[in-house]
A and B are shown apart, each in its own frame.
Chain A
Amino acid sequence: MEARRKERIDRPVKAQTDGIYALASMRNVMYLLAPRLFPALALIVVPALLPTLYLKRIICIACVYALLTLGFDFLLSTVGLVCLGGALFFGCGMYAAGALNYYYGLPPVVTIPLGTLLGALISTALLIPCLRLRGIYFAMVSLAYPLMIHRIIEATLILGGTDGLLGLDGLPNVWVELYLVIGVTLIALFGLRRLYHTDFGMVLRAIKDNDQAVRASGINITLYKAIATFIAALLGSFAGAYVAHLYMWAGPSGWALDYSIFPIAAAVVGGMGTLSGAVVGSFILAPLSEMLRAFASLRIVFYSSALIVFIMLWREGLMNWLERKYHQIERWVKV
């Protein structure tokens, strides 16, 4: 039998759509636009067509998880921090918005942006002393914070104790609930992708590649890691602040391990480092996990299994695979 190997080469259209030639033909324009525009349109149109409130709520929750996963993927693929602080961001945002509404009677239109900002500031401030830690150590600290805060709230009965802050104001109607979070998710996704290619984004990515050379280049990496963490925290805290008003409740389950573990699973399933994979992965895993609601605590088993299966068998993840198929052709060649 003759030896052969698989060859991967870029499609000609990929080179054609580099730079100004992207505008040369409608085909080129569509090659670039289609994979961005259609998924975004689908995310805007499809939820409106869903018949029941329950299904619409699932979309809301999927977006909430997508925001947390975007933060996780962003931090990992730019500055290289493995941040398991999803629950920290989420909980801080949820309690910040909840407290502003509960104690000061501010309306959601104020508490959601203010809660997002406040939650992100608090969680970033908590993480700043740990930014010098690398790899697994930062992951452990970020994982431990929400567990600790949860117990403190339960023990000291501050912020409503085990009951949480009940009877918060809801959002006006289901359309606001739906499109507020969808809008923010899309802005976050395309905003972060844009950020990757700015000079600021280059500096962030360089930190993951070689932090020593970045320091020798006169860049204060702790500052830049803190800014990146703050960006991820903004996304997570918005998710928390939004959910506080969606469920009209800010309670201890906001610190649940799910919010830290889910993003890892969703990022791996969707394809690490792509950002779009964070959203796609969340939209696959969140509805599936919703179906397992009856088995409440088994849900974390489900994320973990998805994580293990994908890491063992298909580490590339969905979007990395799709992107490769879209840009390249594969064929067998003789060697």
Chain B
Amino acid sequence: MSEEVLLKVVDLSKSFGGVKAVDKVSFELRRGEVLGIIGPNGSGKTTLVNMITGFVKPTSGKVYYRGKDITGWPPHKVANLGIARTFQTPRPFLRLSAYKNLVVPLYSPRARRIAAAGGFGDRETVAMDLMEDVGYERDSSVPYKPAAALPHGYLKRLELARCLALRPEIIITDELLSGLTVAEASTIAPLVEKLNMEGITFIMVEHRLRELFRLAHRVIVLEQGKKIAEGPPEKILEDERVKKAYMGAEVI
């Protein structure tokens, strides 16, 4: 992990009508780290992600990427900076076969610029390479199946592959491990670890705390839109406010 700050969020807020979904949240993301964001349902995690990635315009506050103000940029521009994201419910392009789903991000200006410089081969070959990177077997029929026919676990991998196609600096995952069996989660978590070792910085919004706390270097806790704690996982576990936010439930 280096000291370079990739992403800086300053007093980011969003109100929907009178409700403050996110209330003056600030944090820094350093290159190479895995930052976890946790909090009870409705604490503003997804809204925070949506504001960073441009899907929701903040009411106030700033987002800086490598020192550049990107507050309120549209999603495609943010993605082309190298900030990729997954969605809570994987929504693949159902009418395309699984690997052809990756043609879409590979068609983005960023991916094309990098492909032109790197000479990786045509888009279909690159798509297959990426499928392999996230654990699809190249020689099986699975990558060729229509995305509509894939099981949930494979769709989560496809979401990751869609991010990787952008050759991202940062991947922001929104409940990547939710809805997976323990067996499926135990194959996807190491995948995140591997990608992180290869130099991709992660923000992980997660409900599966057991897996997250193994991956994350630092964790931020949100409650009712406010940041109530920040620190390494072992500190977070002992924080009284965090325990209270989770209603005293035994979470680990």
Contacts and interface: CB of A to CB of B under 8 A. Distances in A.
A225 interface: no
A209 interface: yes
Interface string A195-223: 00001101101101110111111111100
A214 B107 CA distance: 10
Contacts, number: 83
Contacts of A199: 103, 106-107, 123
Contact of B87 (A200, A203, A209, A212): A212
Interface string B64-94: 0000000000111001100011010001111
Nearest to B106: A199
Contact of A213 (B91, B95, B100, B110): B91
B107 A209 contact: no
A215 B87 CA distance: 12
A219 B104 contact: yes
B55 A212 contact: yes
B93 A205 contact: yes
Given A202-B96, A220-B76, A212 B108 contact: no
A181 to B, nearest CB: 31
Q: Which size class do A's interface residues fall under?
A: 10 to 19
Instruction: Find the residue from A200, A210, A214, A216 having the highest chain B CB count within 10 A.
Output: A216
B85 to A, nearest CB: 5
Given A205-B93, A209-B96, A216 B103 contact: no
B96 A218 contact: no
Contacts of A219: 76, 104-105, 107-108
Contacts of A213: 87, 91-93, 104, 162
B109 interface: yes
A218 B76 contact: yes
B91 A212 contact: yes
A218 B103 contact: no
Contact of A221 (B76, B106, B166): B76
A177 B108 CA distance: 42
A217 B92 contact: no
A218 B53 contact: no
A132 to B, nearest CB: 11
A218 B110 contact: yes
A275 B108 CA distance: 27
A167 B166 CA distance: 57
B130 to A, nearest CB: 12
B21 interface: no
Nearest to B111: A218
Contacts of A209: 91-96
A216 B104 CA distance: 10
B92 to A, nearest CB: 7
Interface string A215-258: 11111110000000000000000000000000000000000000
14 contacts: A199-B103, A202-B93, A202-B103, A205-B95, A205-B96, A209-B92, A213-B92, A214-B93, A216-B87, A216-B162, A217-B79, A217-B108, A217-B165, A219-B104
Interface of A: 199-200, 202-203, 205-206, 208-210, 212-221
Which 8 A/B pairs are nearest by Cβ-Cβ distance? A218-B108, A218-B79, A217-B105, A215-B75, A206-B93, A209-B93, A210-B91, A218-B80
Given A215-B76, A217-B104, 18 more contacts: A206-B104, A209-B91, A209-B93, A209-B96, A210-B91, A212-B87, A213-B104, A215-B74, A217-B76, A217-B79, A217-B107, A217-B108, A218-B76, A218-B110, A219-B76, A219-B107, A219-B108, A220-B74
